[in-house]
Amino acid sequence: MAKIGGVIDETLPQLRNPTRRLSTGFVALEIAWQDDPEKTEAWADEEAAPYGGRQAAWWLQNMERVVTRGGQPVWPMLSADIHIRPFSRAERESGSWAVWRILDHGVRHATCCAWVAVHQDEHGSESYVFFRQYYRTDTPLEMNARNIMAESPPDEHVFGTVADPSMWQRNPKDLERFADVYAKVGLPLVQADHALEVGVERVTAGLVATIARLAVWKQDLDILRGPLRAPSLTMGMAERLATGPAVWFTPETSSGRQSLFEQCRNWRYRDWATERLNAAAPEKYIDLDDEGPDVVRYALQSKVVQFAKQPAPKRTKDMLTRIIEAKQVKPSQFT
């Protein structure tokens, strides 16, 4: 946010900022969090952690009143060493994970679909692993739908496909909804939660939770303190952060610029294009290569995407069973 205008009037003891007298005659005073004796550096480290640390754009602009320039990464804590992990088919099919598809339809941008597996432990903590991706440009809706279905193995149970709400708009040419085109070829869609700021914060908490889990497991707080720039962060806070919805990507979704991981790592706030050096950059995001961030936040913020038990597989009848059933005499034959 911008600094308060006016001229300095007087300085009050124990406060960081002086009072300023405005042209209207009123006196204004900026109250900093540091003015509260109960709010220590350790408090700031803990409060800033869910937003990505005290260097995160949100914290700087809202809590420190620092003018931040645009072009900053939205998720600077995202790390290939921590957030990329293998995820075998055997683990995915162990019954501990529920698979969902997340779709972001593109007109000017690429159509992107991500497969995410969701796990919930005995304490209710969630884990999300993005393990498969689909990117296509200049492809008809029906072909995208068929391609996406073909990417899932026949024996893989997918609980549902959550899509950008724009899919429920009507095509101006024939007035058919985009979602209806997908449904006709056998791929029904569920509307995602599209709230941008909520989704960004949810993903931020998830990326921080992944780092916190590693720090707790290794009993090494520097793993978390470094990315968050929070030297006084305690193990108790790390344990609380670790209960959040942790996020990982597999090598298959992390290779090349057009991948979920790389698009999330490269997603940026917009540059501040004017010469106004006394105003903060708006908290807006670049509208470029953002398909990956979109599907990741849809997955984490849409309540429908959650762990559930897989249905029992259908038992294939052997030949002997089919013969016996075929020769069984129905009771109605004797009445």
The token duo for 85 is 């992990």
pLDDT at 274 over 50: no
Domain boundaries, the chain: 80-301
CA of 290: how far to CAs of 110, 228, 328, in Å?
A: 9, 24, 60
pLDDT (0 to 100) of residue 236: 95
- Please, what is the Cα angle at 269 between 114 and 81, to 5 degrees? 55
pLDDT tens digits for 113-163? Answer: 999 999 999 888 999 999 999 999 888 899 999 999 999 999 999 999 999
pLDDT (0 to 100) of residue 32: 73
pLDDT (0 to 100) of residue 62: 64
Whole-number mean pLDDT of the chain?
Answer: 81
Per-residue confidence band for 81, with pLDDT thresholds at 50, 70 and 90: very high
CA–CA distance, 197 with 158 (Å, rounded to integer): 28
Higher pLDDT, 236 or 172: 236
pLDDT (0 to 100) of residue 146: 96
Section 29-49 average pLDDT: 73
Of the listed ranges 162-166, 209-213, 254-258, 290-294, the least confidently predicted one is 254-258
Amino acid at 72: Q
pLDDT at 240 over 70: yes
Using alpha carbons, select from 216, 253, 250 the residue that is nearest to residue 233. 216
pLDDT at 242 over 70: yes
CB within 8 Å of 142: residues ≥ 6 apart: 181, 184, 185
For CA atoms 191, 171, 140, 200, give the dihedral sign: negative
pLDDT tens digits for 159-181? Answer: 999 999 999 988 777 778 999 99
pLDDT (0 to 100) of residue 71: 63
The fold adopted by the segment(s) 80-301 is Nucleotidyltransferase; domain 5 (3.30.420)
Sheet holding 7-10: strands in order across? 7-10, 19-21, 27-28
pLDDT tens digits for 191-234? Answer: 999 888 899 999 999 999 999 999 999 999 999 999 998 899 99
Tell me what percent of the residues of the chain surpass a pLDDT of 70.
71
pLDDT at 107 over 50: yes
If you ran DSSP here, which 8-state letter would residue 221 be given?
T
CA–CA distance, 252 with 88 (Å, rounded to integer): 11
The token duo for 331 is 């009771």
Q: Strands 126-136 and 246-249: what pairing? A: parallel
pLDDT (0 to 100) of residue 44: 73
Using alpha carbons, select from 36, 40, 44 the residue that is nearest to residue 64. 44
